[in-house]
Amino acid sequence: SQQGEEDPQALSIQEGENATMNCSYKTSINNLQWYRQNSGRGLVHLILIRSNEREKHSGRLRVTLDTSKKSSSLLITASRAADTASYFCATDLGITPLVFGKGTRLSVIA
């Protein structure tokens, strides 16, 4: 069963704009991970944020985690056409496999 739910399901923006995707989950977690998937390809790991962390940065990516609300957000700043992909959050409960949300399809228009 899926634990994470991304919002929005689809997002279309102009190049240079920021893109924000949200993820909600249901149970306590060890960490939460964000992945990108280009069409027809496997998943690429973007950021892992542990349950005791609140914010993490990696280049143009910023991830926040609010364990009290059981939610996370992924911000992509100064988006590029190459950022066009599906983005998934996944919750890690420690000993069980990752559980993925439904994903957000991001389209960045040049």
- Residue closer to another protein (CB basis): 17 or 55: 55
- Residue closer to another protein (CB basis): 41 or 57: 41
Contact positions toward another protein, by CB under 8 A?
Answer: 2, 30-31, 33, 35, 40-45, 48, 50, 88, 90, 92, 94, 97-103, 105
- Residue closer to another protein (CB basis): 3 or 79: 3
Distance of closest approach, residue 80 Cβ to another protein, in angstroms: 22
Question: How far is 61 from 69, CA to CA, in rounded Å?
Answer: 21
Residue written as token pair 């364990």: 67
3-state secondary structure string across 3-37: CCEEECCEEEEECCCCEEEEEECCCCCCEEEEEEE
Distance of closest approach, residue 106 Cβ to another protein, in angstroms: 13
CA angle 8, 67, 91 (to 5 degrees): 65
Distance of closest approach, residue 37 Cβ to another protein, in angstroms: 9
Distance of closest approach, residue 96 Cβ to another protein, in angstroms: 9
- Residue closer to another protein (CB basis): 15 or 102: 102
